[in-house]
Amino acid sequence: MADEFAIESSLKEKRRFEPDPKWSRAALVPGKAAYRRMVKEAEKDFRRYWARHAKENVSWFTPWKKILDWKPPRARWFVGGKTNVSYNCLDRHLEGENAWRKNKAAIIWEGEPGDRRVLTYGDLHREVCKFANVLKDRGVKKGDRVILYMPLVPELAIAMLACTRIGAVHSIIFGGFSADAIRDRTNDAEARVIVTADGGWRRGQIVRLKDMVDEAIDGGAAVNQVIVLQRTGHDVPMKAGRDLWWHDLMADASPVCKPAKLDSEHPLFILYTSGSTGKPKGILHTTGGYLTHVATTSKYIFDLKETDTYWCTADIGWITGHSYVVYGMLANGATSVMYEGAPNWPDEERFWQIIDRYRVTIFYTAPTAIRTFMKWGADHVKKYDLSSLRLLGTVGEPINPEAWMWYRRVIGHNRCPIVDTWWQTETGGILISPVPGAVATTPGSATLPFPGIFPDIVNEQGESCGPDEGGYLVIKKPWPGMLRGIHGDPERFREQYWSKFDGIYFTGDGARRDRNGYFWVMGRVDDVMNVAGHRLSTMEVESALVSHPKVAEAAVVGRPDEIKGTAVVGFVSLEGDVAFDASLAEELRSHVAREIGPVARPDEVRIAAALPKTRSGKIMRRLLRDVAAGRETTGDTTTLEDFSVLASLRQDEE
C-alpha cells in the first residue's frame, strides 16, 4: 500500500487502469473500437455528429434549419428548431414507448432531518405543470427572469422545470449566499420574482433563507413578489401584497399546462459565477444546444441505463447540479438522488448510508469531499454495503492521485471506473472526461476530450504546445452547451473568453498534455481561486474586506490546503490607528461571510502595514502567496517589516 501512495507528482504518474472487458461489453460505448468510431465521426464533421445526438437525445416540435451558425464569438445551435426542456425532461417519459416511466422514480430525495420523498415522473410532471400555472398567474411571461433561492428540495427542481415550461429564465442563487449577493444578482438579472423557502437544514441548523431575501429587498433588490415554500416550519414574517405561500398558490393551481414551443436559442437560465474582477458574471445558457450537450454527456459519460440509481452530491445552485442532478438526468429518464444536507449529519456515515439504502449505482462528487472522507477514515465506509456502485465520478478541481486511488479502492472496491470530468459553468456540460469502458484512466488526469470537443494547449502566441509542455487550455471549435454570453455585458464576454486568442475559447485554466494525449488540468491562471471546487475571485473577497470600516486596503490570495484544495488568506492594512488582534481577525472573517456567504469566509486574516506593490501600484500577489503558504522565515504573522522588506526587494527587481 505504501508505494501505491508514494507517487504524488502527476508528472511521474505511471499507474494506468485499462477498462475491465466485462464492464466494457455491457457499456453504451462498448470498448475502444466503438469509442474510436465516435471520435472519427466527430472529426469528420462535428456539426453532423452533434446533430445526430440532438436527434437521438432530444425531442423537437419543429426541426432545425441549420445545425450551427458560427460567427465568433456568437454561436447559434440548431437554428430554427423548436423544443422545450420540461417537455424533454417530463412529458416524453409519459407517452409512446416510454409511457411506462410514468411510475419510475425521477427524484429520490432525502432531507437532512431524515424525511424522505420519492417523486415519479408522473408526480413531477403534475407538480411542474401546477407551478408553471402559478408563475403564469403571477404574471411571469416568456423571457422574464425568476430568482430561485432555495434549499436542496424537490421543489427547486420543480420550480426550474416550471420556468422552462413557460419560457421563463431561472437564475438560481446558491442557498449559502448572503443578502448582498442576492441583491446584486437579482438586480443584474432584472428579476421581479423570487422563489424561496422559510429555510433549509444544514448540520442540524436552520439556514434562514427568507430572512436573507427580506434583507436583500430592504437593501435594494427590486423584486415585487416572493413565493415562499414551507420547509422548516419556523415563523417567518410575510409581507402582505408581496409574499405568498407556495402551498396556498399550489392548492388551486391546475395540473394542465402546455409546454411552450421555444426557439432552440431561447434563454434557459442565467447562473452567476466569479471572474477575475470583483463583479460576478451572469453566464447565459440557452435551450436546444445545452440540452443536447447535457443529455448526451449524461448518457455516455455516466453510461446511464434504465436500472441505474444515480447520485450527484452537488447542490443544484451550482452548474453541476443544473446539468447533472436535474437536466441531464431527467432528459434521459433516469433516477436522480438528492440529499439536502451535510455529509456529516448526524455523523460521518451519512453518505454511505444513503448509497446503501437506495442501492446507488453511480456516484458523482468533488475531490474536496473525497479528501474529507479520507480524513474521516475508511471505517465509516466499511460499515455499509456499497456493492451496488458500478461507476464513480469527480468534478470541480484537479484531483490528487492519492485521493483518486483512495476513491477507487475504498469507495469503488477497485472495480468501478472513475470518470474525472473537466468542465466549467461556462461550458454548460462536461468537455474532457474518460468515456467509461472505453478509455483507460490514470489518477489525476481527466484523460481525453469527449468526442465532438476540440481542446488544445497553447502558449502565449497561441501555438500548440508539445507533449508535457504547460500552457493555456483552449477550446478550438464551438460546442452545443457553450455559454452564449454574459447577461447584459457583451463586451466582457468578448474580452474574457475570446480576446486572448482570436475566435478560440479561452478557459482560464493552465494544463499540459502527455505523450498519450491525456490532459492534465493544473488550475486557474487568473486571479480566481478554486476553493472546495468552487470559484471565488480574489477581487470579490478583497472588496468585501475593504467594505469593513476598519480596513484601508486588502489583498487576498490562495494557499494550498489539504482538504479544500485552496484556502483563502486575506492580508489587510488598517485605517489610522486601529489595532489588530485575534478578535478583529475573526470579525473580518465573519464580515466576508456576511457580505458574500460562508463559502467565501477567509481561513485566515493577517495584518500588513502596507501591501507589497509594484511601482505601478499592482499588488504583488505572487509574493503574498509565498508568505501565506508559510514560505517565509518566521512563524510570526503579525510582523509588518517582512512585507515591506520583501516588497522593496522585489520592487528593485522589476
Per CB under 6 A, the list member of 524, 548, 559, 621 interacting with ligand WT7 is 524
With cell 502565449, the residue in question is 460
Nearest-approach distance from CB 424 to ligand WT7, in angstroms? 4
Can residue 153 be called a binding residue for ligand WT7 (CB under 6 A)? no
Can residue 420 be called a binding residue for ligand WT7 (CB under 6 A)? yes
Nearest-approach distance from CB 407 to ligand WT7, in angstroms? 13
Residue 129: CB atoms within 10 A of its CB come to 24
- Which x/- pattern over 285-324 shows residues binding ligand WT7 (rule: CB under 6 A)? ----------------------------------xx----
Nearest-approach distance from CB 528 to ligand WT7, in angstroms? 8
**Residue whose Cβ sits closest to ligand WT7:** 425
Nearer to ligand WT7, 319 or 554 (CB): 319
In DSSP notation, 502-545 reads TTSEEEEEEEEE-TT--EEEEEESSSEEEETTEEEEHHHHHHHH
Per CB under 6 A, the list member of 210, 293, 534, 589 interacting with ligand WT7 is 534
- Which x/- pattern over 76-115 shows residues binding ligand WT7 (rule: CB under 6 A)? ----------------------------------------
Nearer to ligand WT7, 512 or 606 (CB): 512
Q: How far apart are CA 497 and CA 500, in angstroms?
A: 7
Can residue 507 be called a binding residue for ligand WT7 (CB under 6 A)? yes
Can residue 597 be called a binding residue for ligand WT7 (CB under 6 A)? no
- State whether residue 571 is helix, strand or coil: strand
Nearest-approach distance from CB 466 to ligand WT7, in angstroms? 21
With cell 437544514, the residue in question is 201
Nine cell digits for residue 646: 520583501
| Longest pairwise C-alpha distance within the chain | 75
Residue 164: CB atoms within 10 A of its CB come to 30
Per CB under 6 A, the list member of 521, 531, 544, 647 interacting with ligand WT7 is 521
Stretch that binds ligand WT7, among 38-46, 72-80, 295-303, 523-531 (CB under 6 A): 523-531
Stretch that binds ligand WT7, among 4-12, 16-24, 532-540, 564-572 (CB under 6 A): 532-540
Nearest-approach distance from CB 421 to ligand WT7, in angstroms? 5
**Residue 615 neighbours by CB under 8 Å, 6+ apart:** 651, 654
Can residue 444 be called a binding residue for ligand WT7 (CB under 6 A)? no
Nearest-approach distance from CB 366 to ligand WT7, in angstroms? 8
With cell 470530468, the residue in question is 421
Q: How far apart are CA 432 and CA 447, in angstroms?
A: 7
- State whether residue 600 is helix, strand or coil: helix
Nearest-approach distance from CB 325 to ligand WT7, in angstroms? 12
Q: How far apart are CA 442 and CA 446, in angstroms?
A: 8
Q: How far apart are CA 436 and CA 35, in angstroms?
A: 10
Between residue 349 and residue 408, which ones bind ligand WT7 under the rule CB under 6 A?
Answer: 395-398
Can residue 186 be called a binding residue for ligand WT7 (CB under 6 A)? no
The answer to whether 24 and 31 are in contact (CB under 8 A) is yes
Nearer to ligand WT7, 227 or 521 (CB): 521
Can residue 530 be called a binding residue for ligand WT7 (CB under 6 A)? yes
With cell 510570526, the residue in question is 636
Nearest to 234 by CA among 210, 202, 198: 198
Can residue 448 be called a binding residue for ligand WT7 (CB under 6 A)? no
Can residue 424 be called a binding residue for ligand WT7 (CB under 6 A)? yes
Q: How far apart are CA 543 and CA 637, in angstroms?
A: 22
The answer to whether 114 and 298 are in contact (CB under 8 A) is no
Nearest-approach distance from CB 323 to ligand WT7, in angstroms? 8
In DSSP notation, 209-277 reads HHHHHHHHHHTT----EEEEE-SS-------TTTEEEHHHHHHT--S--PPP-EETTSEEEEEEE--SS
Nearest to 213 by CA among 147, 159, 160: 147
Stretch that binds ligand WT7, among 261-269, 421-429, 580-588, 611-619 (CB under 6 A): 421-429
Stretch that binds ligand WT7, among 164-172, 245-253, 375-383, 520-528 (CB under 6 A): 520-528
Stretch that binds ligand WT7, among 12-20, 303-311, 420-428, 588-596 (CB under 6 A): 420-428
Per CB under 6 A, the list member of 50, 109, 246, 422 interacting with ligand WT7 is 422
Nine cell digits for residue 642: 517582512
Nearest-approach distance from CB 474 to ligand WT7, in angstroms? 12
Which helix (H) or strand (E) element contains residue 558? Answer: strand 551-561
Site of interaction with ligand WT7 (CB under 6 A): 273, 319-320, 395-398, 420-425, 446, 507-509, 521, 523-524, 530, 533-535
